[in-house]
Structure formats: C-alpha cells, structure tokens
Structure 1
Amino acid sequence: MIVRPRWRRGYSNSVAAASTKTADVAEGGKQWDDALLRDIFDKSDVWHNFTQPSSAPHRGLFQNHDLTSPEGFRTYTSRTLEQTKKLVAQIESSHTEEDYRCIVRRLDLLSDLLCRVIDMSDFVRSTHPDPQIVAAAHEAYSRVYEYMNVLNTSTGLYQALKKAQGHPVSKSWSREEQAVARILMIDFEEKSGINLPPSARKRFVELSSEIAELGQKFVEDMAPEKQYISFSSARLKGMDPMVVRELTRFGKVTLPTVGMAASHALRTVEDEDVRKEVFHASQRAAKSQIKILEMLLQRRADLAGLLGAESYAHLALKDKMARTPEAVSTFLDALSEANKPTASAELAAMAMAKQKAGWDTELKPWDREFYTTRVLHNNRNRQKAGDELSAYFSLGTVFQGLSRLFTRLYGLRFVPVSPAPGETWNSQVRRLDVISETEGRIAVLYCDLFSRPGKNPNPAHFTIRCSRNIPIGDTDDGMPSNLDPSTGALSQLPTIALICNFASPNPRSSSPSLLSFREVQTLFHEMGHALHSFLGRTALHGVAGTRCQTDWAELPSVLSEHFARSPTVLSLFARHWQTDEPINPETILHKLSQESLFAATETRSQIVLAVADQRLHSTKLALTDSSSVFQSAVMDYSLIPMDREDAGTWHGFFGHLYGYGALYYAYLMDSVIAEEIWREVFKGREIDREAGERYAKEVLRWGGSRSGWESLAGVLGKDELKDGGEKAMRVVGEWGKGKIGSA
C-alpha cells in the first residue's frame, strides 16, 4: 500500500501568486470564512467586491498557463501529444528491470496527460459561453480522443505491460500499481480486442463505431408511435384549465402523447378512460425507434461474441462488483422480495383512495400517478408550503451547512478564493479552496450554480483533473499543486467543477437564491461526488476518487443525500434568510414523511427497468423481439397487474439503455448500500468525527484502488462481504426493505 502523503499548508510555486485574500483565509479566521462563504453566494455586491479587478494579471482557464485563448487550446494539446508520444516510445522500448519497475507509473502518467485534455475539454465544450473557446475545446477533445483510440488498439503498450507483469520485479509493485495494471489489462484484452487477429480487430473497430452511432441516434431520435391524441375538453375535468386552453384548437383538445402535458393529464384528469388512453399512447415508442434499439443490441451482442463473451451483459459486468448477469439477477430478485411488502402497502393506499372516489375496480397502471397525487394532496401540510420552506435554504446558507458538516466529520472547510481574471468561464463562478485542518489545501472547487441563457440545466459534477503524485521533472501546467517540504514530493490537487441551475440572487433587492428542498438534496448529491475526489488518497491517477467500479461510483453521492435529510445536519445551518430564525424540526420531519410516502413504489419501477436492461442485454430473443422481452420483465416484476398492451414498448424511450447498457442496476445497488451504511455508521451520529473518519478511511480514501466489496466489508465490519459474489449480492438485495432513501 502506498503511504498516504503528508500534505502541508504551504503552496507550491505554481499557486503562490494567488490573491493575498487567499493566504489570509487559509491561515486562520474560520469564523470569518464561514460568514464570507454565505455572503459570496447570497449577496452579489459582496462577491463583486471580493473578486480581483480586471486589471489584475490574467491567468488561463483553471490557472492553466496555455488556456488564455482559443489558440492556447491548440498549443496545450500539441504539447500534450508531443509529451505522450515520447512517453509511449519510452514504454514500448522497456527492457530493463528499472523499466519494468516504473512501467505502471509511466502508463498512469500517460493516461493522466491524455485525460487532462479530454476531461477539461469535454467540460469546456459543454459549459463555456464563448463559441470560439467551445470550438477550440471540441477540436482538442477530438484530437486527443482519436490518439487515445489508436493507443487502445496498439499492441506496443500492451506487450510491454504484459512482459512487465511476467517479470519478478512486478511483485514489488504497490497495491495501487497492481490495481492499475489489472484495470489496464482488462481494457486491453477484454475491451479493445488487442489479441484478436487483424481482420477481427478491424471488425471490432467497425462495431464500436456503429454502436456509438446507433446509440446517439437512439437517444436523439426518440419519438412516440402516435404524436397526439384528441379529446373533448369536457372529458379533461380536473386538468388545469389554463393548460387545457393552450391545447385547444377548433373546439378539440389535442394532447401530445409524451412530455409535460401528458404527465399532467395522468396526474389530474378524473376520467379513467381518458387516463387509460393517454397512458397507452405514452407507453408506445415509434416502430423505427424499436428497430434502432434492436440494431444497437445486435451490434453489442456481436461485439461480445467477438471478444469471447456469452452476452454483452457478461462483457460489461466482468470488471464490476456484480461480475455476472446472474449475480445482478440475484440482487434484483432479493431486492424485489424485500421491497414488496412496503410497495404493496403503498399501492393499497392508492387503491383505497380509488375506492373512496367511488370506483370499485382494482388499481390499474394508469391510476398510479392520479391516486399518488390525490394521496399526497390529502396529506400536504397546509401550514408550511414549499416556497416558505425555501426561505430557510439560501444557497449561501446551504454552503455554510456543507462546510460545517465536513468540518465536523472530516476536518475540512470551504474557503472562498478570488479567482484571477481568465481563471473561470463566467463572472458568476465562485472558487472555493478545500482546506484540511491537518493537511492544508487538498482540492480546488469551482461552483457554477446560477442559471443563465444557453446553460445546460442538468446538475453535474465534473472532475477536471484528478489527484496524483507528480514525478520530479514533470511539466507544470500552472494548475494547483502541493509541495511537501519534508520530502520534496509534489502532488497535483483534484480540480472539481459543480454545475447547477439555481435562480440567481436579485441584484435589485436583498433576496438571495432560495433553494427548494429537492435542490438542497441535489447539491448534497453532487457534493458527495466531489468529496470522493477531495478525500481520495491515491498516488495514481487511474484509481483516483471517482475512478472506481461503476456500481460503486454513486455510493458517496447517494449517501450524501441522507445528510441533507437529517434534522441534526439541517440544524447546523437551516435558518430564515431574513429573520435568522432556525427551521422548525417538525416542519422538516413532515416534509421528509411526505417525500417518502411512495418511495418504495418508485423503487419498484426502477427494479422493473433494471431487470429489463439485464434481459435486453443477455437474451437472444431481444435482438429480434425486444418488445416481448421488455413486456415480460414488466409483467413479471410489476405489482400492478399488467398485460402486454399495458407494458407497451416504453423501452424505446429508455435512453439509459445506451449510456448504462447492462449497468442500470448500479444506482439501485448503491442506494441500498448507502441506506445500510447510513443505518450502521451515521444514523444518530450524523456529525460525529469518529463516524466520518471511519467512512473516509474505509471508503473514500481508496478511490478505485481496491474493490467496492473490500471497502464495504471494512466500513460495516462484515468480512464475509469482502469477496463479493452472488451470495453477497443477495445480502445487499435483502437490505432493501422499506423505503430506500428515507431519512
């Protein structure tokens, strides 16, 4: 195991020129940090006065020396490619014991150099407002990604690593080096077809390209079988009259079959026959869309066969915690049984609401949204509406809460830093340094949280650059790093960007950006990903922070949502933005009970989709009749009786079949694990340092350098889980009793 580096408060030369405000904050004044943290998010004038004047020296984007102009992206990319080509030649010519001793670190450096450009460019091209910068970032991404694909199918690197693994010196590799070598070998041998004969390797490349093209087409071309259905307006009783009026033409209401209007109709229209018609239309994708999906499934099956795998699901799962489709099915079946009692009780509550409304028929698929809405409405607290609750959650207050929570659990706090001109992509982006009370600065966080025209509305976490130990002589690109003066070891700091789409503070009034309770949970979720990067303690880029098994990667973010729902945690910060009155705990408890009313039913829907995802990627029938496979999954696992007409062909709208092919179970699995860790480690100890350090030591510090099973066994103290397998998957599934995600 690599010894954890000793971090210091001192900054390396590459960041010593930051604002003097930064140094003052970093060395003390925690109380001042806390007040300023709230104000820079809540008060536009405070942020404006805090930032450096435009006359200050310009630095590149993220402090990268080159990224001061579109041309700088080309310079940075060219320099990176020149470095990597020299490194590739060095690795491929490895023949001495010293070469083999260093080969994994050199391969990791190669990966880091390429990912620095790819990850940063991918973020910039999706976020930056300047079209010229976006175009330059896109060009940089394409150049480096193309070169990386060449390396992935080149035998030189693979052969060098294989020789090194067979050399006795490989026994001296650290645990991290062993993990990175294992990951690279799987990528070479089982994901890139490196051992295939030339003709088969050519076919591998063709199939990979076809899968990418079909996947994009599947996601982008989604269309229903029937675009619209029409009704007399008299049949839409219960629906918002304003919505009905907007949809009325020539005396007829023309309702789109997918989208907000259809969802609104299912929730509000009293006429069951109307809801049935809307439901069936909304469940049917265009036949052309199903054909595209089946072509995608066929190409994936062909790719798996080319690589010697039984199915695409077997190929996709081999390096995951689950390992096999059979293990995933074991988990989903166990979770299904654990979930059934609570989900059935929730459906019984809906059925009772239907009976009270005068209907004596059983609950139907098109009833679920309508009677869920009815029950929620009847249970709503009329004394505390959602907008009143938001008054206790100004954005700055929530950041205070996150900083206070992290201080108590991990000894970390957020310190506002004035970004240099050119360092960020928008003047509203806040920069925070993450300061450890024992290790100094350990990460840099950029917060782009306010809405603006043209900005992607989806919340996201981006790792711009991972942590990694920097070898002597490595090129300094200007981005933040730390120097340990006692050893001379240099480490690059993780650089993270959080993207949300919250309302901006009103510059003409004192009102800050006020978050809904759902938005508070969203911010905690994304910060959970960031925390994985902050507290990862790996020397190698390839296993840093969130670079871990897919079915482990969502655990920190899902667990973080539990803290957002804890009255103990909320008491740290939830105060009225005008009166400073603390939030009433009863209000929060009521809100939590409302949110969890139908959590088990929602979990049931996710189980159905996860089962369908597995079957579609492991069953030969899916290649020619995906609708039959999807419908069988729905009928087998839905607790509301359905026939094939009711199940429809909704899988044609299931975009995650491309991005998460055979891996859709992962979020459910991490949700169940997060629930168990919350119960066993944190519940009743939400702000306890010992609990935080246990979680950080057993889970966060490792990144992807050990399996999720080992980390799970460590944090729960259950050694029987550390080897994983179907038995462990069944145990995890059985944990899912009750309402996943409840406080």
Structure 2
Amino acid sequence: MSILSEKFTTQHDTAPFSQIKNEDFLPAFKEGIASAKKEIDAIIANPEKPTFANTVEAMDFSGSTLDRISSIFFNLHSAETNDEIQKIAQEVSPLLSEFGNDIRLNADLFQRVKTVYDARESLNLNPEQTTLLDKKYKSFSRNGANLSEKKKNQLREIDKELSKLSLEFGENVLSETQGFELHITEEKDLSGLPEGTIEAAKELAVAQEKEGWIFTLDYPSYVPFMTYAANRELRKKMAIAFGSKGFQKNEFDNEEIVLKIAKLRFERAQLLGYASHAHFVLEERMAESPEKVSAFLNELLEKAKPAAEKEFEQLKKFAKDLDGIETLEKWDSAYYSEKLKQQLFNLDDEKLKPYFKLENVLDGAFTIAGRLFGLNFSEVDSIEKYHQDVKTYEVKNISGELVSIFYADFFPRKGKRNGAWMTSFKSQYVLNEINERPHISIVCNFTKPTETKPSLLTFNEVTTLFHEFGHALHGMLADTVYPSLSGTSVFWDFVELPSQIFENWCYEPEALALFAHHYQTRELIPTEYIHKIKESASFQEGLATMRQLSFGLLDMGWHGQDPTGITSIKDFENEQFASTKLYPDVNENAMSTSFSHIFQGGYSSGYYSYKWAEVLDADAFEYFQEQGIFDPEAAKRFQENILSKGGTEHPMVLYKRFRGSEPKPDALLKRAGLL
C-alpha cells in the first residue's frame, strides 16, 4: 500500500511530503478509486430503505482518501511540477473523470438519491441538509443520469477528452512561458527599470551562467519590465511573446485545443438538454442565465465606456506630448499609464515598495484577521513542506483551539505556474462529533529577496496577497458538517466576495498603520502616500473595467452560443472585442490560447464573476465603513453569515442576512469613480 493511501501519522494529519515519491501517485490513485467505489457499492447494496443518512450523507463522506490524494497531487501539479508529474496527470485525469461519471451515471445510486429527494418535504431537514440533498440530486440530473445508455457513453467520452485537453492546454502555456527569455547584454537597454528588477534579472543570468540580465514572462519579471523599461522595441518584443503563448504554430500551439474544448463543452450541454455550455453552468450560479450575465456586463460597459474612452484619449495625448508617440500600442499602456500616474499623483511603486516588505504585509494580514476574527498565527517548523520556500503556520482562536493549518508559498520558480491562487490540502467537516480542521494554502509569485534586499511588494502585489488571504480566511473559518459544502465550496460568482472585500483594508489608514513601515527605518508610511494611494485607486478605473469586461464578454462568446462554426480564433476574438476595443490589434497575439482561467481553471462561463463579486464586495465593505472597519459586530456578522457558512445556503440568502438587503451596483460605481 502507498503511504498516500494510509492514515497519515503526522501532527494535525498534514501531508508527509518528504515521504511521498512521484511513483507513489499512480498506484495510490488506483487504490483510492477502488476504495471509493467500494464505499459507493456499499451504499447501493444497503438493504434498508434509502434515507438522508444512509444515502446522501454517506455519499458526501465517501471517497475521502481519494480526495486527499487528488488535492496533494494537483496542488503539486500547479506549484511544484516536473515532467514526471505532468505525465502522471495525463494518465490520472481520464481515470478520475471516468470515476466521476461512474458515480453520476449510476442508475441504482441515482434511484436511491431520487427516492430521498422525492420525499424531501416530509424529512424535516435543516437548511444545510436541504442544500446537500439538492446538490447531490442535481449532480446526477445535471450530469446525464436521465440519459439513455448510448448518450451516457457519449458523455463519458466527452468528459474524458475534455479532462485531457485542459491539462494539455495548461502544460502548453507553461512551456511557452518558460520557453521565452529576453537576454540583455547592454546596460543602456535597462534604462528606466527599478534597481530591484535589474538585480533579480542579473541573479537569473548568473544562475544560468550567462553575462548580462535575463527577463522572463513570469509576472515579477514581466510586469515591471512592461511598466518601466524605456526601450519601446524591447517592450514590444516582451508583449508579443506574452500575448502569443499557445499561438505560434509550434508544438505548444493551443488553437486546435481551444476550438475542441469549446465545441465539446457545447456538445455536452446539448446532450444534457441545455442551449449552451453557459446555460448549463449558470443554472447553478447567482447570475442564473447567460442573458442575465450579458445584461450585467453590458450595463457596466455602458457606465464604464465613456470614462475609458476619455482616459484613453488622455493617455494618448500624454504619450504624444512626452515622447512624440503617434500611435499608442498595447506595449505602451503600462509604461505611459505609470508615467501619467506619477505626474498626477507623484506616486510610484518604487516609492511605495520600501514600505511593503513581504513579511510585514503578511503580518499585517494576520493582525487584521486577529482583530476582526480573533485569529492568531504562529509559524511552526514541525509541519512538512513541499518546497523549502514554503512557510507553515498553526492558526488558533482566542481560546487557543486549532482553527487551521496554513501554508504560504510566495516566490516564482521552475515548475510553478504564474499567477496567485488559494487552495486546500484538507477540507473542514464534522464527523463522529469531531470538527476536522482544514489545511489551507496560498500560492503567489512575488519578487524573491536578493542579496541586498528583502522581498518588497508593489502595491498591486499587496492587494494580491490580501485577496488570496481573503480566500484563505473563507477556507480557515469554515464551520459546516459536510465537506462538499465547506469553505470555498460556494457558487462561483460568490466565491470572490471574501477575497475581494479583504483587499479594501489595504486602502484604509487605520489598517496600513499596522504593517506599512519602511523596511530599513521602520518609519510609518507617510500620510500623504496613504491619501495618494486612496486617490489613485480609481485612476484609469474606466480602462481597467473595460479590460475586465472584455475578458468576460470573450468568455461568454465562447460559451454562450454554438461555437461549431468558429474556424479562426483570431477573427472570433476580434468580433468579441469590438465593443471594448481601444488599442490597435496585434496580429501575432491571441488571448484565448493562454486564457487559462476559462480553458484550464474553473472559470468557463464564469469570468464575469470577478465584476459580479466587486458589486458584492463594494456593497459589503460600505457596511464596514459605516460601522467602523474593525467593528466587532460587523466582523461577527460577516464571519457568521458568510465566512463560516460555506455553501450551506443560497448565497443571496446569506448575503441578505449579513447586509439586510440585496447588493446594489451603486457602491462599486461610486468607488470606481464611474458615477
């Protein structure tokens, strides 16, 4: 038996990473699937009449070993991958999708669930049980349980194919990201770049035994380069490399994969009786339908477009006056925006970074969580890590009881995908009267410390850390009975509320005073900087909103209609971007071929949810501002009605219980300066 299949003997039941070898995974997955099947077979073979406990509840607690193996493996696949892990993922994904279908398409199991579901009115279930029953029933009815045998087999084939394609998509994006580097050998080409960025590029070159400086498409290297490099031709080179990932007619080309994924999703939805993939997905979201999402996006577009066009004209004029730029291109946007922002607010990231040493910002997040929710974080060495950069913490409440284990993984490295995310190694749930506490992790890609400097964050990275930490709090403070309803297991357009609301504290003087101290002098961030951070928060908000809306509209374009007629990704994108287009098109680039959120992550038909959740978070934070940003009563209401409840009730019910009414977009429009 593999170590992964046995009960862990570690403190707090954490993953024993040092004892897990790559070759353990495949046998462990096979054992895990076999044991989960046995548990399901036992539920079906139970001679007693189907009840909520012996069927629905039993299903939710089944397969726990398999869940644990999956979470460990796929977290490593994202944060610490290698060729071997990628190869295993290609073998394992179809097995898991097949197993999922074995359950969802099992007629005998569905019959038991349906018997309980049909009798639901007489069962006297509490809200959490009612939600679980509804969710389990729909997991069958929405996934083919009512189909004929022939159609069930078609569905199985589609799902197997989709799981392979999305993995391949992600691996191609990673290969393209890691396959490009800009090697600079002349010092003049570094003009404009911050010294920390130059130092990191130098260290990268030294590590590769090369002269000069190396810049990559990883965010901590790419973003500062595009924001500060004075050499326009090199910015262009970087931007084209970044925007052509998966679109270069080479072995990592994602064009065919994107078309296949979109068409298979549509075929699957049709098979299940839905008009499109988006109709299928949105049935289980707060937004409910593609029509509602399109109306939501277009209403925001109407409000943001005049502001965006005005901001774009201002930026064009600024670039022309400053440097004689005749046509403003995409690779000019971050560079001139930053220059304009400095001129308007006399504030740039390089001025702010010394006040945002990573360790201080993290302590700030901990302190704020302590003041709001009574949590205490202590770093421990007794918990195993999957990489030496990872930090591990015990999180306890005021009574000293364990609330959660917390992993934090902050720096880019080979084998770690770009971006930032929160995930878990173990969910919270209650079994045999024991409240099992969760193991939560956040993964980011911030600038590594160098020989002369600690990791200093841009303000954007500060809000990223707070964002992921908000998700982490949702996971840590979970307090539900059933694992499938715990923590972040909520409707997709609700899941960003805890993360986005937490970003708001980064703009509040009272919160910044807790952590924004100069890393050398310990001096508190000057008040004028805080005012400027707040003032500049809505700088170019029209353009930023247009950009987000363009991604949401592209997502709905792929998934809200029949994609079978699409032959050219480039032509299709140009149609979708028509209403939000400001910059000239770049022929060599495409968005979809590296749009991992929708073709690899879980955001297909869901990209709108960032904006949707912004409406929720602006409305919710307005309540904190009215009561006081550290008001214990407001924090208690937010914890009890949102953070601890997971997916146990409909999100709108939970939201109204916290806020007293449905959210209105006014708070967001006001905050963004668009009213």
> How many residues were matched structurally?
630
Partner residue of 1:405 out of 364, 368, 372: 368
1:539 partnered with 2:491? no
In the TM superposition, what are the counterparts of 1:328-339 in structure 2 within 5 Å?
A: 328-339=293-304
Partner residue of 2:42 out of 80, 90, 98: 90
3-state SS, counterpart of residue 349 of structure 1? helix
Task: Report the Cα offset of residue 221 of structure 1.
Answer: 4.9
Task: Report the Cα offset of residue 634 of structure 1.
Answer: 1.7
Task: Report the Cα offset of residue 584 of structure 1.
Answer: 1.5
The letter of the residue matching 2:458 is S
Question: For residues 29 and 242 of structure 2, what CA distance do their matches in structure 1 show?
Answer: 49
Task: Report the Cα offset of residue 468 of structure 1.
Answer: 0.6
1:202 partnered with 2:153? yes
Gaps of 5+ in 1: 1-13, 16-57, 229-235, 247-255, 472-488, 722-730
Higher relative contact order (Cα pairs below 8 Å, separated by 6+ residues): 1
1:31 matched residue in structure 2: none
In the TM superposition, what are the counterparts of 1:126-165 in structure 2 within 5 Å?
A: 126-127=78-79, 147-165=99-117
The letter of the residue matching 2:110 is Y
The letter of the residue matching 1:697 is E
Q: Does the C-alpha gap of structure 1 residues 269 and 556 become closer, same or farther in structure 2, counting only changes over 3 Å? A: same
The letter of the residue matching 2:75 is F
Task: Report the Cα offset of residue 504 of structure 1.
Answer: 6.0
1:714 partnered with 2:653? no
Q: Residue by residue, what CA displacement relative to the aligned partner does 1:86-122 show, whole Å, maximum 9, x if unpaired?
A: 4212311345357444422211101544322211222
Q: Tell me, yes or no, if the aligned pair for 1:466 and 1:495 is still in contact at 8 Å.
A: yes
Task: Report the Cα offset of residue 237 of structure 1.
Answer: 11
Question: For residues 494 and 118 of structure 1, what CA distance do their matches in structure 2 show?
Answer: 15
Question: For residues 62 and 313 of structure 1, what CA distance do their matches in structure 2 show?
Answer: 39
1:525 partnered with 2:525? no
1:435 partnered with 2:396? yes
Question: For residues 150 and 495 of structure 1, what CA distance do their matches in structure 2 show?
Answer: 29
2:502 matched residue in structure 1: 560
1:322 matched residue in structure 2: 287
Q: Does the C-alpha gap of structure 1 residues 134 and 566 become closer, same or farther in structure 2, counting only changes over 3 Å? A: same
1:569 matched residue in structure 2: 511
Q: Tell me, yes or no, if the aligned pair for 2:268 and 2:277 is still in contact at 8 Å.
A: yes
Question: For residues 11 and 98 of structure 2, what CA distance do their matches in structure 1 show?
Answer: 25
Task: Report the Cα offset of residue 714 of structure 1.
Answer: 2.5
1:8 matched residue in structure 2: none
Question: For residues 364 and 73 of structure 1, what CA distance do their matches in structure 2 show?
Answer: 47
Could you tell which deviates more after superposition, 64-73 or 532-541? 64-73
Q: Residue by residue, what CA displacement relative to the aligned partner does 1:368-409 show, whole Å, maximum 9, x if unpaired?
A: 456424413434637xx6455333333332233222212221
Q: Residue by residue, what CA displacement relative to the aligned partner does 1:197-224 show, whole Å, maximum 9, x if unpaired?
A: 1111111112223333444455555799
In the TM superposition, what are the counterparts of 1:10-159 in structure 2 within 5 Å?
A: 59=10, 63=14, 68-70=19-21, 80-81=32-33, 83-94=35-46, 96=48, 99-127=51-79, 147-159=99-111
Q: Tell me, yes or no, if the aligned pair for 1:558 and 1:671 is still in contact at 8 Å.
A: yes
Could you tell which deviates more after superposition, 93-102 or 664-673? 93-102
Question: For residues 637 and 513 of structure 1, what CA distance do their matches in structure 2 show?
Answer: 36
Q: Tell me, yes or no, if the aligned pair for 2:624 and 2:631 is still in contact at 8 Å.
A: no
Q: Does the C-alpha gap of structure 1 residues 679 and 622 become closer, same or farther in structure 2, counting only changes over 3 Å? A: farther
Q: Does the C-alpha gap of structure 1 residues 82 and 620 become closer, same or farther in structure 2, counting only changes over 3 Å? A: closer
1:312 matched residue in structure 2: 277
Question: For residues 710 and 686 of structure 1, what CA distance do their matches in structure 2 show?
Answer: 23
In the TM superposition, what are the counterparts of 1:690-709 in structure 2 within 5 Å?
A: 690-709=633-652
Q: Tell me, yes or no, if the aligned pair for 2:232 and 2:332 is still in contact at 8 Å.
A: no
Partner residue of 2:566 out of 620, 624, 641: 624
Partner residue of 1:609 out of 534, 544, 551: 551
Partner residue of 2:408 out of 425, 435, 447: 447
Could you tell which deviates more after superposition, 154-163 or 96-105? 96-105
Question: For residues 89 and 273 of structure 2, what CA distance do their matches in structure 1 show?
Answer: 37
In the TM superposition, what are the counterparts of 1:414-429 in structure 2 within 5 Å?
A: 414-419=377-382, 423-429=384-390
The letter of the residue matching 2:599 is Y
Task: Report the Cα offset of residue 615 of structure 1.
Answer: 2.1
Question: For residues 434 and 258 of structure 1, what CA distance do their matches in structure 2 show?
Answer: 31
Partner residue of 1:186 out of 138, 151, 171: 138
Larger Rg: 1
Q: Does the C-alpha gap of structure 1 residues 81 and 678 become closer, same or farther in structure 2, counting only changes over 3 Å? A: same
The letter of the residue matching 2:635 is G
2:4 matched residue in structure 1: none
3-state SS, counterpart of residue 447 of structure 1? strand
Partner residue of 1:581 out of 517, 523, 531: 523
Q: Does the C-alpha gap of structure 1 residues 82 and 61 become closer, same or farther in structure 2, counting only changes over 3 Å? A: farther
Q: Does the C-alpha gap of structure 1 residues 683 and 134 become closer, same or farther in structure 2, counting only changes over 3 Å? A: farther
Q: Residue by residue, what CA displacement relative to the aligned partner does 1:616-652 show, whole Å, maximum 9, x if unpaired?
A: 22233663355554323322234x387x898985444
Question: TM-score when scaled to structure 1?
Answer: 0.72
Task: Report the Cα offset of residue 610 of structure 1.
Answer: 1.0
1:737 matched residue in structure 2: 669
Task: Report the Cα offset of residue 410 of structure 1.
Answer: 1.3
Q: Does the C-alpha gap of structure 1 residues 455 and 632 become closer, same or farther in structure 2, counting only changes over 3 Å? A: closer
1:636 partnered with 2:568? no
Task: Report the Cα offset of residue 185 of structure 1.
Answer: 2.1
Q: Does the C-alpha gap of structure 1 residues 137 and 494 become closer, same or farther in structure 2, counting only changes over 3 Å? A: farther
Partner residue of 1:295 out of 243, 251, 260: 260
Task: Report the Cα offset of residue 74 of structure 1.
Answer: 7.8
Task: Report the Cα offset of residue 688 of structure 1.
Answer: 1.7
Q: Does the C-alpha gap of structure 1 residues 342 and 96 become closer, same or farther in structure 2, counting only changes over 3 Å? A: same
Q: Percent identity?
A: 24
3-state SS, counterpart of residue 172 of structure 1? coil
Q: Residue by residue, what CA displacement relative to the aligned partner does 1:669-699 show, whole Å, maximum 9, x if unpaired?
A: 1123212212233467222212211211221
